[in-house]
Amino acid sequence: MGKKIGMLLAGAIAALVLLFHLGPLVGLAITLAVLYYAFKKYLKAPSTFGKIVWALIGCAALVVSASNVPALIALVAAYVLYVVYKKWNGVKDERAVPEADDPFVNFEKQWAELQKHYS
């Protein structure tokens, strides 16, 4: 019961942090889209003047996106929410193999890992 309350508290805090930093997150997404568009146009620009203009637009977008550092906090909060969601719903990793004391089971697990790495 205490573990669920802790996960609920962590999820609530992460949700609040994400909501409070939603503005910088949207700003970061927009400036990164402008930066990507400017980079693509820079590569396709036929003239030197066009390359200079797109490089200046790209530099401005890079500076503006760097000023959205609180968006990184929002990304961390979104990841925490994802982890809490996975643990709350009991989603388990399919690759996880239960450990056993039987040496033949451990041998089979190690053999499967070797085959996976070398195939």
Banded pLDDT at 65 (limits 50, 70, 90): confident
| Position 97, amino acid | V
pLDDT at 119 over 70: no
Name the nearest CA neighbour of 31 among 65, 56, 63: 65
pLDDT at 91 over 60: no
**Tokens 């719903």, residue located:** 89
Measure the CA–CA gap between 33 and 10, rounded to whole angstroms.
Answer: 31
pLDDT at 77 over 70: yes
pLDDT score of 34 = 93
Averaged pLDDT for residues 92-119: 67
**Could you count the other beta carbons within 10 Å of the beta carbon of residue 74?**
22
Averaged pLDDT for residues 62-82: 85
Cβ-based neighbours of 85, under 8 Å, separated by 6 or more? 11
pLDDT at 55 over 90: yes
pLDDT at 97 over 60: no
94 three-state secondary structure: coil
Measure the CA–CA gap between 71 and 111, rounded to whole angstroms.
Answer: 44
